[in-house]
């Protein structure tokens, strides 16, 4: 059983490391905002992930509660932060402690202008054709002018150090040593993503890209169309979602 | 000849400063703290104050790990990032006796300043904006209302978890939170007329980072946070 788990973990790690070669320029920039607003140590989460509300999950078995152990791929942000890619591989301690939940800063009016040239090539130094923008390839991203992100009703979940150490230690004892990170804090909020297309984009292309965004970013709600015929917008709005976390390599000390 | 003209410009700038306009820094939360709440530094992430949670992160007396993100200088408080590694004093805020502090409003009016003569560089440095971005700003206002100071009190007996203190012992990044400021913070940004939506949106996003403070509530250009811990006084761990 343990051998199977180890093999599975190695496979996940291999998959994560191959993904990590593709940079996500949108998330890299979003991480800059996360770090500036919430302080050092918080890394953006790719993709934004669902979390059950504490009321619907009283024993905190769902993903995203501090004290859980998990496997993540970590990549550098544009200016020194960390971007975490979630693999949905996690384990909870037998008794998951109730986090402290506080209101925190909203992300308002954050705008990312697509870093892509007229020929459809990324304009970021060191970019490769396999890189992405908010998980969209250059083939899709060249039709997009900007991504706007707004995150309201932001809550921060966290625990004192002694609770974190106990929880991660218990989780490791219960689930085995094949987890790399302990989750120490989570930022959750209602996310609205507004995609502004370049002028004159075909409505079929816009709809197709909307579908890609929905799948790649694990969104459930249908996009709302806005803007004008020549400058269409797609707006995705749903929550609560995990948009950033703090994680530390195990064991926590 | 060049040196002489340099001195002349400096003298002109100084004279203009003495005359009263343009020298005041464009307000950021760090400026406001340095000028009106001496000894306090900014702490990130900003956090709603919880009155009845004895494990709360920013309780006076907590032993907590911080990273210095911006050092203190003459006109700006330091900025610290909490690492969310801390040992709680385990006394809820509601048991502390807060002290009322003075409310503060700081306004920087770009049109009334000597922006073109000397304010441009200053404002650019304070807000970390480009000249073309500064051109669309008319006014920045920071208002702090109902500020209350909670500080370590002798009558309250700390109830630390010993294993937590043991885990933190010996670390060089830990501090004792001596006091915190809790209040309502509002930041208003007024744009010039005829500024487009995209330009406003892009600049507001940048300003949110550059003010060093985000917003718990708020609508477009009027951003506010209520009952928020907006500053803390940090000291060495061994000083009770």
Contact B117, B21 (CB under 8 A): no
Task: Supply φ then ψ for residue B146, to 5 degrees.
Answer: 50, 45
Q: Which of B50, B56, B84 to mutate to test the interface with A (most CBs of A within 10 A)?
A: B84
Mean pLDDT of A125-138: 92
Q: Does A168 touch chain B (CB under 8 A)?
A: no
A177 touches chain B (CB under 8 A): no
ipTM of the complex in this document: 0.76
Interval B153-174 mean pLDDT: 92
CB-CB neighbors (< 8 A) of A104 in chain B: 45-48, 214, 216
Mean pLDDT in residue range B161-174: 92
For residue B209, which residues of chain A lie inside 8 Å, CB to CB? Answer: 32-33, 36-37
What's chain B's Rg over C-alpha atoms?
21
Which residues in chain B are closer than 8 Å to A32, comparing Cβ atoms? Answer: 209
Q: Is A37 on the interface with B (CB under 8 A)?
A: yes
Site of tokens 């490769």: A128
The pLDDT of residue A15: 47
pLDDT tens for B110-121 read 765 545 555 556
The Cα–Cα gap between A26 and B160 comes to 42
Q: Cα–Cα distance between A73 and A52 in angstroms, integer? A: 23
Residue B23, C-beta contacts closer than 8 angstroms, at least 6 positions apart: B16, B17, B118, B122
- Of A245, A214, A191, A227, which Cα lies nearest the Cα of A81? A245
Number of domains comprising chain A: 1
- Among the listed residues A146, A41, A151, A147, the one whose alpha carbon sits nearest the alpha carbon of residue A107: A151
By CA distance, what is A110's nearest residue in B? B205
Q: Which residues of B touch A (CB under 8 A)?
A: 44-48, 50, 53, 55-57, 67, 69, 80-88, 161, 163-164, 167-168, 198, 200-202, 204-205, 208-210, 212-218, 220, 223, 225
- A residues 178-237 closer than 8 Å to B (CB): 184-185
Any B CB within 8 A of A44 CB: no
Above 80 in pLDDT, residue B129? no
Cα angle A166, A169, A175 (rounded to 5 degrees) comes to 135
pLDDT at A21: 61
Choose between A191 and B113: higher pLDDT.
Answer: A191
**Test mutation, A36, A65, A97, chain B, max B CBs within 10 A:** A36
For A68-114, the pLDDT digits (tens) are 999 999 998 888 889 999 888 999 999 999 999 999 888 877 889 89
| DSSP SS3 for A186 | strand
The mean-pLDDT minimum among A1-10, A125-134, A179-188, B92-101 falls in: A1-10
Q: Above 90 in pLDDT, residue A134?
A: yes
CA distance linking residue B11 with residue B58, whole number of Å: 46
Q: In this predicted structure, which of A56-65, A150-159, B150-159, B209-218 has the lowest mean pLDDT? A: B209-218
Residues A224-242 have pLDDT tens digits of 888 888 889 999 999 899 9
For chains A and B, count residue pairs whose Cβ atoms are closer than 8 Å.
Answer: 121
Predicted local confidence at residue B198, as pLDDT: 74
User: Least CB-CB distance to B218: which of A40, A106, A160?
Assistant: A106
Measured CA to CA, the distance from residue A94 to residue A61 in angstroms comes to 9
Q: In angstroms, what CA-CA distances link A200 with A116, A193, A205, A212, A229?
A: 17, 21, 11, 20, 7
Interior angle at CA B28, CA A184 and CA B217, nearest 5 = 55
The string of DSSP letters for A38-77 reads H-TT-EEEEEEEE---TTT-TT--STT-TT-EEEEEEEE-
pLDDT for the residue B113:
52
Burial environment of residue A153 by CB neighbours within 10 A (0 to 12, 13 to 18, 19 or more) = middle
Read off the pLDDT of each residue in A109-125 and give the average, rounded to a whole number. 88
Structural contact between residues A219 and A211, judged by C-beta atoms closer than 8 angstroms: no
Q: What is the pLDDT of residue B193?
A: 79
pLDDT at A55 (0 to 100): 83
**Taking the C-alpha atoms of B71, B227, A240 and B55 in order, what is their torsion angle to the nearest 10 degrees?**
80
The answer to whether A113 contacts B202, with C-beta atoms less than 8 Å apart, is: yes
Residue B6 pLDDT > 70, yes or no?
Answer: no
- pLDDT at B8 (0 to 100): 53
Which residue do the tokens 């803007």 mark? A227
Q: What pLDDT sits at residue A155?
A: 93
Chain B contact for A159, CB < 8 A?
Answer: yes
DSSP class per residue in B103-147: -EEEEEETTTS-IIIIIHHHHHHHHT--HHHHTTEEEEEEEEEEE
CB contact under 8 A, A37 and B167: no
A39 and B167 in contact by Cβ < 8 A?
no
Helices B197-210 and A25-38: angle between axes, nearest 10 degrees: 50
> Which of A105, A113, A253 lies closest to B46 in CB terms?
A105
Nearest to B48 among A102, A113, A158 (CB): A102
CA distance B10 to chain A (A): 34
More confident position, A163 or B201: A163
Mean pLDDT, range B206-231, rounded to an integer: 70
Does pLDDT of B139 surpass 50? yes
The pLDDT-based confidence of B5 (bands split at 50, 70, 90) is: very low
Can you tell me the distance from the alpha carbon of B184 to that of B142, in angstroms, rounded to the nearest whole number? Answer: 11
Which residues of chain A are within 8 Å of residue B217 when distances are taken between CB atoms?
Answer: 106
Q: Is the dihedral of CA B6, B9, B15, B18 positive or negative?
A: negative
In terms of Cβ atoms closer than 10 Å to its own Cβ (0-12, 13-18, 19+), residue B200 is: middle
Query: How confident is residue A197, by pLDDT bands cut at 50, 70 and 90?
Result: very high
CA-based nearest residue in chain A for residue B161? A162
Residue in chain B lying closest to A189 (CA): B216
What distance in Å separates residue B164's CA from the closest CA in chain A? 5
pTM: 0.83
Residue B80 has pLDDT above 90, yes or no: yes
Low-confidence winner among A121-130, B11-20, B209-218 (lowest mean pLDDT): B11-20
Which candidate from A32, A105, A185 shows the least CB-CB separation from B216? Answer: A105
- Kindly report the nearest CA distance between residue B114 and chain A, in angstroms: 29
Tell me: cis bond preceding B218? Omega within 30 of 0 counts: no
Q: How far apart are the CA of B43 and the nearest CA of chain A, in angstroms? A: 8
Range of the domain at A173: 2-249
- Answer yes or no: do B55 and A100 touch at CB < 8 A: yes
Separation of CA B13 from chain center: 28
């Amino acid at each position: 059983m343990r051998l199977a788990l180890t093999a599975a973990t190695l496979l996940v790690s291999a998959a994560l490391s191959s993904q990590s070669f593709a940079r996500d320029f949108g998330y890299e920039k979003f991480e800059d905002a996360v770090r500036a607003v919430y302080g050092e140590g918080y890394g953006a989460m790719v993709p934004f992930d669902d979390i059950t509300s504490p009321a619907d999950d009283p024993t905190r078995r769902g993903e995203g509660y501090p004290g859980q152990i998990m496997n993540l791929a970590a990549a550098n942000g544009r200016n020194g932060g960390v971007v975490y890619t979630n693999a949905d591989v996690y384990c909870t301690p037998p008794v998951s402690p109730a986090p402290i939940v506080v209101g925190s800063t909203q992300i308002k009016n954050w705008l990312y202008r697509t870093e892509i040239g007229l020929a459809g090539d990324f304009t970021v130094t060191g970019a490769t054709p396999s890189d992405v923008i908010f998980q969209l390839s250059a083939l899709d991203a060249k039709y997009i002018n900007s991504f706007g992100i707004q995150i309201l009703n932001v809550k921060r979940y966290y625990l004192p150090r002694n609770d974190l150490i106990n929880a991660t230690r218990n989780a490791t004892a219960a689930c085995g040593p094949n987890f790399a990170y302990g989750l120490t804090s989570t930022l959750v909020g209602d996310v609205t993503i507004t995609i502004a297309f370049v002028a004159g984009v075909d409505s079929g292309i816009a709809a197709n890209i909307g579908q890609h965004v929905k799948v790649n970013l694990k969104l459930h709600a249908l996009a709302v169309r806005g803007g004008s015929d020549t400058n269409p917008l797609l707006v995705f709005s749903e929550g609560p979602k995990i948009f950033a976390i703090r994680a530390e390599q195990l064991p926590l000390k | 000849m060049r040196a002489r003209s340099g001195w002349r410009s400096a003298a002109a700038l100084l004279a203009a400063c003495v005359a009263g306009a343009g020298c005041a820094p464009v307000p950021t939360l760090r400026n406001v703290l340095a000028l009106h709440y001496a000894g306090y530094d900014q702490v990130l992430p900003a956090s709603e104050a919880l009155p009845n949670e004895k494990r709360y992160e920013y309780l006076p007396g907590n032993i907590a790990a911080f990273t210095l993100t911006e050092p203190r200088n003459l006109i700006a408080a330091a900025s610290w990032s909490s690492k969310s590694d801390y040992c709680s004093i385990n006394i809820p805020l509601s048991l502390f006796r807060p002290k009322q502090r003075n409310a503060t409003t700081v306004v920087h009016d770009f049109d009334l300043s000597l922006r073109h003569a000397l304010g441009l560089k200053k404002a650019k440095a304070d807000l970390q904006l480009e000249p073309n971005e500064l051109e669309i700003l008319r006014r920045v206002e920071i208002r702090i209302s109902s500020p209350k100071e909670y500080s370590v009190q002798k009558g309250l007996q700390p109830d630390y978890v010993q294993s937590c203190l043991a885990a933190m012992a010996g670390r060089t990044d830990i501090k004792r939170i001596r006091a915190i400021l809790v209040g309502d913070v509002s930041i208003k940004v007024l744009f010039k007329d005829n500024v487009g939506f995209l330009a406003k949106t892009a600049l507001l996003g940048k300003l949110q980072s550059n003010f060093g403070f985000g917003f718990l509530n708020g609508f477009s250009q009027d951003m506010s946070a209520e009952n928020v811990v907006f500053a803390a006084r940090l000291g060495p761990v061994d000083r009770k």
